[in-house]
Structure 1
Amino acid sequence: MSETCTEVLTVAVPVTDQDRAKSQFERLGLRTRLDAELQPGFRWVEMGMAGGGATLSLVRAGEELPAGINTGIRLGTPDARAAHAAVRELGFEVGELLDWETAPLMFTFRDLDGNRFYITEVGSQNS
């Protein structure tokens, strides 16, 4: 049987202000891949890491796609302790640094719309 799907391309994140959200994610190191009005009133802002991979699409929140969700999105970092401090300094609401013996270091943060994201240390002995 052939593969129907071969990769994750993008995940939509509902935001109330696409420019504000774009600026906030740029401070985390994401870069704009596409920013265009695809049809009247429908702007698509796609952001990703410099090295490629899946992207975040910052879409305008609405009744059918409200902001303030638990996105389930995990972002990777080589140093979760440093990232925890840096994300807090950038003004995000940051959760506790979870240091479990059986899992990599990780923590949550919320963007300006209250959307929850996760940052997990990659390349550590527990990951």
Structure 2
Amino acid sequence: MTDVPAPIATTRIISVSIPASDQERAKQYYCDLLGFDLLIDEQLWPGARLIEVGLPGSEVVLSLLDRDGEIPIGVRMAVPDADAAHRVIKAHDPSVRDEVLRLDFAPPMFEFTDPDGNVLVYLQEV
């Protein structure tokens, strides 16, 4: 074990990704049939279209992502300090990427996997 403090102060689930073979068809299904509201439909960069749908009153959104796209399919969660959370995860799992990702249009974040290989992403609260 390690001397780095745990557990991490995870504050909320932000989104759950659903892999889509056809994002437009998925958007129509969730919005037109299931009654979700379209929250975001943006091309972040080539090969990275972000579609998020949600229900009134729910803080958790569904991200309808291209199953073969550049945005990782996974569960996104919030933490007060992405760098501190990264240090804790890295101390327990050396395979975690070396650095927190910093983009101009998003809060600091990093990706890791649970023991079963499920992708998890921590984003710093803004």
Question: TM-score normalised to the size of structure 2?
Answer: 0.46
Structure scoring higher RCO (CA < 8 A, sep ≥ 6) equals: 2
